[in-house]
Amino acid sequence: MKFSVIIPVYNASKFIDYCVESVLSQSYSDIEVILINDGSTDKSGEICEGFARKDNRVKVYHQENQGAAVARNHGIRKATGDYLLFPDSDDYYASSLGFEEINNQLEETKADVLIHDSFVERGNGTPDDLHSSLLREEVLKLEKIEFIEYLIKKDKLTRSAWTKVISRSFLSKNNILFPTVRQTEDTGFTAELVRLGNSFDWYEKQFYAYVKHDESVTAKRLPESIIHDSFSVIKTAVINGELIKDSRYREAYYSYLAYPYVVLIGQTKEAINRGVIKENTILNDLKQYSFLMKYNLNPKLKVIKHLYKLFGYLMIVFLLSVMMELTYRKQGV
């Protein structure tokens, strides 16, 4: 079984070495690394080419700057592996045994999508124990609907593409690509994995390190264009959800969407307060999807659902904007 590791690279010269080395140093060697240089203006392109010269498993493609979604889609089209992974260029894999162990699991289950755990790295290194709180033996007993519900309840079904190992044939069969927006593409991509996936697996180690630093995209306040992109992703995902015939599975799917939806409400109101967005139109547009707040499998949404029932949409908008402002201030942005 071959893995294709697709990494969009944009001005990542400080980080890309560590990311790529964490892939090439895996004990499992049937890997191709696809580096998509997304119009970098630093030395990232040269660093990528250096890896390709040293290791024939590395392939480099250069494109004008179009964003991570377009870069990843470029990588999907170039990939030859059986399964695809999508790490960010400033993150890394913390265990050199991860790919080997995941290969062993997928040889057994042939799952469309394998989901794994991760940890946040803030310069304090890798934890001594990488085991997740969620055990695979518990998950494999579950039917597909129960699996998705369980992961949401345990807050393990994240939007991030980098917590997924995905069958290339599954993506191809269902014409799944990343929505071509500048940010939040992971939300829509993962929604399609949940909606269309027939079989899932779970790798119980936190072997992916999500590195938090000042240059992280998540550590920045959002411009108007990203707010509109995020709304477009949510809108499309909700419409696609209507195609799910099984009512219980549709509820699980909407439970996945509920968290990014409430986050977007907070981000939108914060942007309005900041003067970045001049009108409340998008908040009114978001209101038509407020039904998502009744799907509270995610433990983060228990209080939100209760407050929404008591006080309504406008109060939720206010509270979420306050929470978002406090989050940004805590991050120092």
CB atoms within 10 A of CB 248: 12
Q: Residue 38: in which H helix or E strand, if any?
A: strand 31-38
Task: Note the pLDDT of residue 259.
Answer: 94
Task: Note the pLDDT of residue 18.
Answer: 96
Task: Note the pLDDT of residue 219.
Answer: 52
Pairing of strands 3-9, 31-38: parallel
What does the alpha-carbon distance between residue 41 and residue 88 come to, in Å, rounded to a whole number? 18
How big is the CA angle at 173 (ends 170 and 176), to the nearest 5 degrees?
Answer: 75
Could you give the C-alpha distances from 136 to 46, 117, 203, 205, 293, in angstroms and in order? 41, 11, 6, 10, 29
Strand order of the β-sheet with 58-63 is 58-63, 31-38, 3-9, 83-85, 164-167, 113-121, 200-211, 92-93
Task: Note the pLDDT of residue 82.
Answer: 99
Q: What is the pLDDT along the chain (333 residues), one digit of tens a residue?
A: 999 999 999 999 999 999 999 999 999 999 999 999 999 999 999 999 999 999 999 999 999 999 999 999 999 999 999 999 999 999 999 999 999 999 999 999 999 999 999 999 877 666 666 777 889 998 999 999 999 999 999 999 999 999 999 999 999 999 999 999 988 899 999 999 999 999 999 999 989 999 987 655 555 788 889 999 999 999 999 999 999 999 999 999 999 999 999 999 999 999 888 888 877 788 999 999 999 999 989 888 888 988 888 889 989 999 888 888 888 787 766
DSSP character for 218?
G
Task: Note the pLDDT of residue 333.
Answer: 63
pTM: 0.93
Task: Note the pLDDT of residue 124.
Answer: 66
Q: Which domains does the chain have, with CATH numbers?
A: 3-217 (3.90.550.10), 220-331 (no CATH)
Task: Note the pLDDT of residue 171.
Answer: 99
DSSP character for 294?
G
Residue pair 113/170 in contact by the 8 Å Cβ criterion = yes
Question: Which residue, among 294, 290, 265, has the nearest Cα to 280 in the 3D structure?
Answer: 265
